[in-house]
Amino acid sequence: MHVFYGTTLANGFMLGTAQYPSPAILANAFKRSGASVATVSLRRESGQDRAGQDFWQLIKDLGVRILPNTAGCHSVKEAVTTAHMAREVFDTKWIKLEVIGEEDTLQPDVFRLVEAARILSEDGFQVFPYTTEDLVVADKLLHAGCEVLMPWGAPIGSGLGLNNIFGLRAMRAHFPDVPLVIDAGIGLPSQAAAAIEMGFDAVLLNTAVAKAGDPAAMAEAFATAIKAGQLAQAADPMEPRDMAAPSTPVIGKAFLA
């Protein structure tokens, strides 16, 4: 089950809408992905001369849940203001909260993130915080009102995959009942499958699809990988072991003198 703030999604694939070569390619990628959520930056919209309305209509025509984000915000005030504008534009309580603290890695400023999350939660938002795998920060975000956590796999747009396997596994084990989404850094379908096999509820990505040579084909590849990860995780996979174990039983084996 993929339940976020009481909303059940068809699958754990969340796909971004930026950087595609054309609107037609974006629409085709979403069609082949089967993604249940589209993330959209408010900065794609403009209040002047109805600029951006064609893009917004395209997003509505995708027929998926919209998750607006506060991409590019660096302060609490900027993030909170952007979130309020997004709620009016997109008519949703959902908000992916980004408060960037470092330019080279686009690492979140977790101190301002917790403060902004508390303000927005008190204002009735359902916050999806883009955070690190730090367990202390995660706990503070939950106490601030968040019911979902979105730790990064690697820096945004890097395609490096899951950089801190230990930290991500620890987060999954520490918060067994909290919906967790790997957000950022996924570059290959195999990395998305690994995240789902690890027990994460969803993955959110953008660049890996939008910048692929064939975005639609890559979107379908990710959808297939995520489905495979879900099936594998539900099947209760075997635990790794240090020593070999014969797959052919020894009992009943013929011995030659």
> Is the C-alpha dihedral spanning 188, 181, 104, 30 positive or negative?
positive
Q: How far apart are CA 172 and CA 162, in angstroms?
A: 14
Please pick, among 31, 60, 93, 96, the residue that the annotation labels catalytic. Answer: 96
Q: How far apart are CA 85 and CA 79, in angstroms?
A: 10
Q: Which bin fits 151, alpha (ψ -120 to 50), beta or left (φ > 0)?
A: beta
Give, for 40, the enclosing helix (H) or strand (E).
strand 37-41
CB within 8 Å of 139: residues ≥ 6 apart = none
Q: How far apart are CA 132 and CA 109, in angstroms?
A: 9
Instruction: Indicate if 96 belongs to the active site.
Output: yes
Q: How far apart are CA 232 and CA 190, in angstroms?
A: 13
Q: How far apart are CA 15 and CA 27, in angstroms?
A: 12
* Residues acting as catalytic residues: 96
